[in-house]
Amino acid sequence: MSDLKPAAVWTTVAGSRTNVTNVQPSVSAADILISSVMKKILRPHRSLMIQICPKHRPFISLLEFLNMPKIAVIGGTGIYNPDSFETIKTVFPDTPYGKPSDEIMIGKISGVEVAFLFRHGRSHRYPPSSVPYKANMWALKELGCEYIISACAVGSLQIEYAPGDLVIPTQFIDFTKKRDYTFFDKKIVHISIPDPFCTYLNRIFDDTAEKMGIRHHLGGAYVCIEGPRFSTRAESKMFRQFGDIIGMTLVPECQLARELGMCYCSLATVTDYDMWHEEDVSIEMVVKTMNECLAKVLKLLELGLPKIGKSDCDCIEAAKECGAL
């Protein structure tokens, strides 16, 4: 942060050390104690710096940290519903990877504080290949988010996954070609993600969908393609041999979340049967079906988000074990 003054007490919220340097006489022991306590009780961040100024006022207050949203929802324009989302503030942070797709809105859904981000930007200006995935995930992590809920539209590769169905995938297959896949470009980090989605979040939304009585599927492999074009008929028939649904935005979003130790769940709405079926896919078909299904996805979020508490999953362990955290 370029506006932070050097004459201050610094605490790095990143590792096990608390570095307190360049202390002025007017900085009390209480400042250092607060700094140390904040380090211990707050969720680990990779680069966030806290400055305690000489007047005993934290650059980012303890209260602000404790009120950081733990949950982020990434979705399209339709997923943002001003009637159910009570906006508190918006932020548009800088990251080492540039700006996120759009301003991040922090507010409440069913009383739960949530950070909401338009994946493609509010005006849908980023195609799937150009979404600033690294900036998005980094910004959400720095805001304190631990749980990522991704709402998206997908095509179906299997007859039983019908248009209008909700799918909570448990696997993905990456057929993208030119994306920025990792935060670790300058050192080798081999992260293990045999089960890339959070089992804890998947259970919550599976149980919620079951109680709502909506047609849904827990399980399935998401084939992620580069886009923005849809598949050819031959490609679609090939993808059917490997996966159950097909989309363009899961990768690298899902694996970046795991590198940062965040839990990730995809709520995928089936909008079409891709190109292997009788009817060809068009963007009009996708938008029409997605609009028809928005109400149940919004209700699923309203009922499911309050159930998220302390996870019993091991999503963060993979990041720790490979040295990502």
Of 3, 272, 280, 312, which is the active-site residue? Answer: 272
Number of domains the chain is built from: 2
| Per-residue pLDDT reduced to its tens digit, 133-162 | 999 999 999 999 999 999 999 999 999 999
Residues 175 and 279 in one domain: yes
Token digits of residue 247: 């989309």
Strands (DSSP E) along 119-262, which ranges?
147-156, 166-168, 171-175, 216-218, 221-225, 245-247
272 is catalytic: yes
Residues 27 and 111 in one domain: no
Q: Which residue has the higher pLDDT, 33 or 316?
A: 316
| Per-residue pLDDT reduced to its tens digit, 49-66 | 333 233 333 344 444 555
Residues 84 and 46 in one domain: no
Residues 34 and 147 in one domain: no
Residues 147 and 256 in one domain: yes
Residue 2 lies in a domain: no
Other CB atoms within a 10 A radius of the CB of residue 4 amount to: 12
| DSSP per-residue letters across 11-65 | EE-SSS-----S--TTS-HHHHHHHHHHHHHSPP-SS-EEEE-TTS-BSS-HHHH
Residue 16 lies in a domain: yes
Residues 175 and 57 in one domain: no
Kindly list the distances between the CA atom of residue 81 and the CA atoms of 75, 85, 144, in Å, as whole numbers in the listed order. 11, 6, 23
Q: Which among 245, 257, 135, 130 is positioned nearest to 191, based on CA atoms?
A: 257
Residue 110 lies in a domain: yes
Residue 52 lies in a domain: yes
What pLDDT does residue 85 have?
87
Residue 4 lies in a domain: no
Give the mean pLDDT of the chain. 83
Residues 59 and 73 in one domain: no
Q: Are 319 and 194 in contact (CB under 8 A)?
A: no
What pLDDT does residue 293 have?
86
- Position 78 confidence tier, pLDDT thresholds 50, 70, 90: low
Residue 145 lies in a domain: yes
What pLDDT does residue 91 have?
96
Q: Which of 83-87, 195-199, 275-279 has the highest mean pLDDT?
A: 195-199
Last residue of a domain, which of 47, 64, 81? 64
Residues 81 and 43 in one domain: no
Residues 110 and 23 in one domain: no
The structure's pTM equals: 0.80
Of 102, 206, 244, 274, which is the active-site residue? Answer: 274
Tell me the C-alpha distance between 267 and 264, whole Å.
Answer: 10
274 is catalytic: yes
Give residue 308's domain range: 68-321
Residues 47 and 94 in one domain: no
Residue 3 lies in a domain: no
CATH code: domain of residue 257:
3.40.50.1580
Residues 24 and 157 in one domain: no
Residue 315 lies in a domain: yes
What pLDDT does residue 325 have?
86
Residues 195 and 259 in one domain: yes
CA-based end-to-end distance of the chain? 21
| Per-residue pLDDT reduced to its tens digit, 261-307 | 999 999 999 999 999 987 777 888 888 888 888 899 999 999 999 99
Last residue of a domain, which of 64, 80, 108? 64
Last residue of a domain, which of 45, 64, 83? 64
Q: Is the pLDDT of residue 45 over 70?
A: no
Q: Are 275 and 230 in contact (CB under 8 A)?
A: yes
| Per-residue pLDDT reduced to its tens digit, 113-125 | 999 999 999 989 9
Tell me the C-alpha distance between 33 and 213, whole Å.
Answer: 51
